[in-house]
Structure 1
Amino acid sequence: MSAPVNTFKEALQKGQTVIGCWLDLRSGYAAEIIGYAGFDWLLIDGEHAPFDVTITDAQIQALLNSGSHPVVRVPVGETWMIKQMLDSGAQSILVPMVESADQARQLVRDCRYPPNGDRGVGYALARASRFGTVENYGATADREICLLVQVENRKGLAALDEILTIEGIDGVFVGPADLAADMGHIGNMSHPEVQKTIMDTLRKIDAAGMPAGILTSDEKMIRDSLKAGARFVATAVDIELLLSSARDSASKWKNEVS
Structure 2
Amino acid sequence: MSTALGFRGRLLSGQPLVGTWIKTPSRIVAEVLAGAALDVLCLDAEHAPFDREDLDGAIFASRVQDMPVLVRPASSSAEHILNALDLGASGVVAPHIRSGTEAEALVRHCLFGPGGRGYAGSTRAAGFTRSPMAAYRRRAIDDTAIIAQIEDREALNDLADIVRVDRLDCVFVGRIDLTISMGGQTPDDLAVIEAVTEICRRASEAGRRVGMFVSNLADVSVWIERGASFFLLSSDQTFLMQGAQALRTSFDAASHGRETAGRAAS
Return the TM-score normalized by structure 1.
0.91
Aligned equivalents of 2:5 and 2:51: distance in 1? 24
Q: Deviations over 1:138-183 (max 9, x none)?
A: 3542232221001111101111111111112111001011011112
Of 234, 250, 258 in structure 2, the residue corresponding to residue 252 of structure 1 is 250
State the shift of 1:255 in Å.
4.5
Q: How does 1:205-244 map to 2 (within 5 A)?
A: 205-244=203-242
User: Which residue identity does 2:130 align to in structure 1?
Assistant: T
User: Which residue identity does 2:109 align to in structure 1?
Assistant: D
User: Which residue identity does 2:48 align to in structure 1?
Assistant: A
State the shift of 1:20 in Å.
1.0
Which structure has the larger Rg over C-alpha atoms? 2
Is 2:214 the counterpart of 1:194? no
User: Which residue identity does 2:122 align to in structure 1?
Assistant: L
Q: Deviations over 1:167-216 (max 9, x none)?
A: 12111001011011112225x21223322322232232122211000012
Aligned equivalents of 1:140 and 1:250: distance in 2? 48
Q: Could you tell which deviates more after superposition, 102-111 or 136-145?
A: 136-145
State the shift of 1:230 in Å.
0.7
Q: Pick closer, same or farther for the CA change 1:6–1:103 going to 2, 3 Å.
A: farther
Percent sequence identity is 29
Q: How does 1:4-43 map to 2 (within 5 A)?
A: 7-43=6-42
Contact 2:153 2:182 in 1 (8 A): yes
Q: How does 1:134-153 map to 2 (within 5 A)?
A: 134-135=131-132, 136-153=135-152
State the shift of 1:9 in Å.
0.8
Tell me, what secondary structure is at the counterpart of 1:141? helix
Match of 1:68 in 2: 67
State the shift of 1:61 in Å.
0.4
User: Which residue identity does 2:148 align to in structure 1?
Assistant: V
- C-alpha RMSD of the superposition: 1.8
Q: Pick closer, same or farther for the CA change 1:68–1:216 going to 2, 3 Å.
A: farther
Aligned equivalents of 2:175 and 2:228: distance in 1? 13
Contact 2:163 2:202 in 1 (8 A): no
Tell me, what secondary structure is at the counterpart of 1:43? strand
Aligned equivalents of 1:222 and 1:49: distance in 2? 25
Tell me, what secondary structure is at the counterpart of 2:232? strand
Aligned equivalents of 2:165 and 2:221: distance in 1? 29
Structure 2 spans left out of the alignment, 5+ residues = 257-266
Aligned equivalents of 1:139 and 1:63: distance in 2? 22
Is 2:119 the counterpart of 1:121? yes
Contact 2:7 2:143 in 1 (8 A): no
State the shift of 1:111 in Å.
1.2
Q: Pick closer, same or farther for the CA change 1:21–1:142 going to 2, 3 Å.
A: same
Q: Deviations over 1:44-74 (max 9, x none)?
A: 1111111111101111101013343101111
Q: Could you tell which deviates more after superposition, 205-214 or 133-142?
A: 133-142
Contact 1:45 1:72 in 2 (8 A): yes
Tell me, what secondary structure is at the counterpart of 2:47? coil
Match of 1:177 in 2: 176
User: Which residue identity does 1:207 align to in structure 2?
Assistant: E
Aligned equivalents of 2:138 and 2:247: distance in 1? 52
Aligned equivalents of 1:71 and 1:161: distance in 2? 25
Of 117, 121, 129 in structure 2, the residue corresponding to residue 132 of structure 1 is 129
Q: Pick closer, same or farther for the CA change 1:8–1:139 going to 2, 3 Å.
A: closer
State the shift of 1:6 in Å.
7.5
Contact 1:22 1:45 in 2 (8 A): yes
Return the TM-score normalized by structure 2.
0.88
Aligned equivalents of 2:66 and 2:241: distance in 1? 25
Is 2:77 the counterpart of 1:78? yes
Contact 1:40 1:67 in 2 (8 A): no
Aligned equivalents of 2:97 and 2:112: distance in 1? 21
